[in-house]
Amino acid sequence: MDTLQSILSTFVVVVVVHQLWKLVKAQSQLASRLAHIPGPKGWPLIGNTFEFGKGNALDVLHNTIRLWKTYGTAYLIWLGTRPFIFLIDADEVETVLSSPIHIKKSVTYKFVEPWLGQGLLTSDGNHWRKHRKIITPTFHFKILEEFVNVFNSNGDVMINLWKNKLNGPAFDIYSYINLLTLDIISETAMGVSFNAQINSDSEYVRAVRSASDITLKRTFRPWLFPDFVFNLSSLGKEWRNHLHVMKTTTQAILQNKKLQVKAEQGKNVSHNDNNDNDIGQRKRLAFLDLLLQSPDKLSDKEILDEVDTFMFAGHDTTASCTSFALWALAKHADVQEKAYNEIHEIFGDSDRPATFRDLQEMKYLERVIKETLRMYTTVPFYARELDQELKIRNKLVPVGTTIVISTYHMHRNPEHFPDPDKFDPDRFLPEKMQGRHPYCFVPFSAGLRNCVGQKFALLEMKCTLSKVLRNFKLSTPQDKLVLSPEIVMMSDNKIMLCLELRK
């Protein structure tokens, strides 16, 4: 028996050593083909993993800044045996984003597939093309025009809550904005309001935030890449608890909507009036309605994947940018005054709600939002997995390499944005933008995989920011924010504002 155990043990050791040797050999071969890309020297099997500390958001930001300053606008790091090339140069970024070939998302997006499934954010190939074609009409401008009513009504709830903060100490605004955007996306996309601003202890919001944090940690811990290892870890157990909350919530929304559609059909509700003036009203619930009514007959699983994707992508991102924009307005009194003057020219002293046309006229406020997206980039990194070779620095980069578009660093590149740490909305005046590289500012990505909801997001943020400025004068005790690039950009030291009533 002892002899058999010894033989088995030896066999296992030999197999493990052989597999490790194959990994080291494959890594060495990849490294030789990537030698033209500078970067820190990595160790066999573990690469540069430990240079990123514990893999938390602050470690990631500090180290990517350091690597940019050391190695330039294209550098290579290894996470385990996987090569990641970070791109900051706009020409090289254009090569990736403008390509109809390199649209496959990074392997790290697989980490959120149990949550988002094969939605627009994570899918690729024909599946992605089919769903993009179905979803794009959901953002017809007539539909967006109707959504302004939802922006206004939910924004009024937040304004009333903030009136309790008048002339008081500074308070953290992010949780308020996050709940506002959650109410907006749930109502506009699915016709269901969580009333999260009133019932502020939202289990769903906590689950989304925690799941995002776990995903980031896993990305920089290669030993957690294999699912079976991750599932056995404490992070994996916590992830499954959050996943249950999120999936249960959106499944309930989908089933309720299907019941509503069935009830309407039973009442023989007529939808024969197809004139343009009616499209916004009929398509008020355009996103979920369109998926349910699609001639492509999407399965419940496909619909649920898109619902989960939009519930995530449609609230956390806008909450991030809106919060940073309010802080920037509070910090820069001259910018706040210009934005308020523009809004006052539109509304005067009236308290009427904003219309779609009003929001389109807010040109300076739009520049404020764009400058916020530049300095506090909502999605600081996004990545593509190469399934075909790509030429970078006049040499081919092999299949299996992950290309990371480092938007945070690119938006602070002084080559395109002089004095990059200065908040200056006039950078986005038409005359200032002439001659600027079209791919040096890509907060919503670009090319085929650009953000389908960017117009929706801009309208929502304009409506919220203008509503706040019409009611309050903003200030902040904070000298600076400590940026923390989680799945979306956050502030590690909160975002604190003080409010005075706008006379």
Q: What are phi and psi of 105, to 5 degrees?
A: -70, 155
Between CA 89 and CA 93 the distance in angstroms is 6
Question: Quick check: is 371 in a domain?
Answer: yes
Specify if 239 maps to a domain: yes
pLDDT in tens, 470-489: 999 999 999 999 999 888 89
Strands (E), 157-299: 171-172
Give the residue ranges of the annotated binding site for heme.
451
Q: Which residue has the tokens 């608890």?
A: 241
**Tokens found for residue 481:** 């924010």
**What residue spans of 136-202 are helical by DSSP H?**
141-162, 174-190
In a domain, 430, yes or no: yes
Q: Where are the beta strands (DSSP E) in 363-442?
A: 382-385, 390-392, 395-397, 402-405
Rounded to 5 degrees, what are φ and ψ at 498? -115, 145
Number of domains composing the chain: 1
Q: Which two tokens stand for residue 337?
A: 């005054």
Is residue 176 one of the residues assigned to a domain?
yes
Q: For residue 362, what are the contacts with CB-CB under 8 A and spacing of at least 6?
A: 342, 343, 346, 462, 466
Pairing of strands 489-491, 496-501: unpaired
> Domain of 350: which CATH number?
1.10.630.10
454 contacts 314 by C-beta, under 8 angstroms: no
The reported pLDDT for the residue numbered 279 is 38
Residue given tokens 């924010």 in the structure block: 481
* Boundaries of domain holding 358: 125-501
C-alpha pair distances (Å), 280 with each of 143, 355, 413: 4, 14, 41
Residue 466, burial from CB neighbour count under 10 angstroms (0-12, 13-18, 19+): buried
pLDDT at residue 275 in the model: 45
- Say which residues have a Cβ less than 8 Å from residue 30's Cβ, sequence separation at least 6: 83, 398, 400, 401
Q: Annotated binding site, which residues?
A: 451
Q: Mind listing the pLDDT tens digit of every residue in the chain (503 residues)?
A: 577 667 666 666 666 665 667 666 767 778 888 989 999 988 888 888 887 766 677 888 889 999 999 999 999 999 888 899 999 999 999 999 999 989 888 877 889 899 999 999 889 888 898 888 888 887 777 778 889 999 999 999 999 999 999 999 999 999 999 999 989 988 888 777 778 898 877 788 788 878 878 887 888 788 888 899 999 999 999 999 999 999 998 888 888 878 877 777 666 544 444 444 443 344 455 577 777 777 677 888 898 898 888 888 888 899 999 999 999 999 999 999 999 999 999 999 999 999 999 999 999 999 999 999 999 999 999 899 998 999 988 889 999 899 999 999 999 999 999 999 999 999 999 999 999 999 999 999 999 999 999 999 999 999 999 999 999 999 999 999 999 988 889 999 999 999 999 97
In-domain check, residue 16: no
Query: Is 488 domain-assigned?
Result: yes
Q: Exposed (0-12), middle (13-18) or buried (19+): which is 16, by Cβ within 10 Å? A: exposed
266 in a structural domain: yes
Q: What is the 3-state secondary structure (H, E, C) of 195-210?
A: CCCCCCCCHHHHHHHH
Structural domain includes residue 77: no
pTM over 0.85: yes
